Amino acid sequence: RLRLHDGKLIKDRRYHLRTYPNCFVAKELTDWLIDHKEAPDRETGIRLMQKLMDHYIIHHVCDEHSDYKDAKLLYRFRKDDGTFPLSKDVKVFVRGQSLYEKLVSVEESILKVREENSVKYQRTFLGCEMIDWLVQEGEAENRKEAVELGRALLEHGIIQHVSNRHHFFDSDILYQFWINFRRRRRLTELLNENSSRTLSESPDSPFCLRKLNPDPGNTSFLSVQTNKEIKIVSAVRRSSITSLTGNSNPYFSAAPMLVFPPVAECNPKSVLKRPVTNEELLSPGAPYIKKTLTIVGDAVGWGFVVRGGRPCHIQAVDPGGPAAAAGMKVCQFVFSVNGMYVLHLDYQTISSLIMTGPRTLVMEVMEAIE
């Protein structure tokens, strides 16, 4: 957007006796994308700008077109007409970018290359250093507010503990900015943004969701299909990890359904008696204990189902599966997966982490003290 302003592609334009401020011509912008190597061809350029439309970044000046047309039509960045939706996620991201720019532009910055367990990490800082800096610079009124800001940055993937084992605390734990805001990004990266969510669907994969030729003696268990539809499948011993349903993530609004013969649809209920927040789980003296489970998957999967998000919980466990043998129980909360802190993630992301990870799964779970 700023480059287009500098190049005078964004300017006030007249059309049918009316002036439209701060807009660009779609066809001219497609030419610009190709000339500046932001897109290899017109088709890719159109796809990129459609992505920006889908994410409410640009729009037709009169909102008469919901898609991006490579024609002499006027479009505008929502930031230029005050219609850009500032959701909580966007506000946290912008705040993180602002803090990063402020930190890297000062002398004697707390952001440094540091080493932990013989591994060097870029853009690192100690939790207590960040708290001191936020209060000193007026970015937070007190240490409590600074901790809350740090936790929001971590939960939105802007900062992280260097080995993904801790949430954000006012301590000498080492963190880093996960996003390098000064790295120049190319628009074509938008077309690959969902690749990390791709799950293995190969029938030969040890992480596949169901066995194609199961043994006759196996019992029924919920098998979750990749189309998010859930069925009771006879002779399928257990499912791999994925969610029964339940959706706390606004970007995944399709609600899965249970299907029984004869066809009857319903929403499976959560096994939790009441909702539990991350703050409740992590508060000092909370009635929860942490357990580490090592689960070796077999040709069918790991034998448990996850549901919900922020935090996710164990919805079902196959009594004859690897997870049950490792000590997994329903109602436990998923704290980490293979060393990565995941309390802030939704079940789709956790599913992806497990399905694309090693066969031997190491999970930390939090369990209520009876």
Cα distance between residue 173 and residue 191, in whole Å: 35
Cα distance between residue 106 and residue 137, in whole Å: 12
Cα distance between residue 52 and residue 312, in whole Å: 30
Distance of CA 74 to the CA centre of its chain: 33
State the virtual CA torsion across 199, 203, 208, 211 in degrees, nearest 10.
160
CATH 2.30.42.10 domain extents, the chain: 278-368
Q: For residue 83, what are the contacts with CB-CB under 8 A and spacing of at least 6?
A: 59
Whether CATH 1.10.1760.20 fits 88-177: no
Helix 143-155 to helix 127-136 angle (10° resolution) is 120
pTM for the full predicted model = 0.49
Question: If we measure between CA atoms, which residue out of 92, 202, 63, 70 comes closest to residue 151?
Answer: 92
The three-state DSSP-derived secondary structure of 47-71 is HHHHHHHHCCCEEECCCCCCCCCCC
Q: For residue 287, what are the contacts with CB-CB under 8 A and spacing of at least 6?
A: 368, 369
Q: For residue 7, what are the contacts with CB-CB under 8 A and spacing of at least 6?
A: 32
Question: If we measure between CA atoms, which residue out of 210, 223, 211 comes closest to residue 316?
Answer: 223
CATH 1.10.10.10 domain extents, the chain: 1-77, 88-177
Cα distance between residue 207 and residue 263, in whole Å: 28
CATH T-level topology, domain 1-77:
Arc Repressor Mutant, subunit A (1.10.10)
Q: For residue 356, what are the contacts with CB-CB under 8 A and spacing of at least 6?
A: 198, 199, 200, 207
Digit-by-digit pLDDT tens for the chain (370 residues) are: 989 999 999 999 988 888 999 999 999 999 999 999 999 999 999 999 999 998 889 999 999 998 999 999 999 999 898 888 878 888 898 899 999 999 988 888 999 999 988 888 888 999 999 999 999 999 999 999 999 999 999 988 899 999 888 899 999 999 999 888 887 778 888 887 554 434 333 332 223 232 333 344 433 333 333 333 333 332 233 333 333 333 333 332 333 333 333 333 334 578 898 889 988 898 888 899 999 999 988 767 888 888 888 899 998 888 888 898 899 999 999 999 988 889 988 888 888 888 877 888 999 999 998 7
Q: How many residues does the chain have?
A: 370
Please answer whether residues 224 and 305 qualify as being in contact, where contact means their C-beta atoms are separated by less than 8 angstroms.
yes
DSSP-based three-state secondary structure for 195: helix
Percent helix, strand and coil across the chain, each to the nearest 5:
25, 25, 50
Helix 42-54 to helix 26-35 angle (10° resolution) is 120
Whether CATH 2.30.42.10 fits 278-368: yes
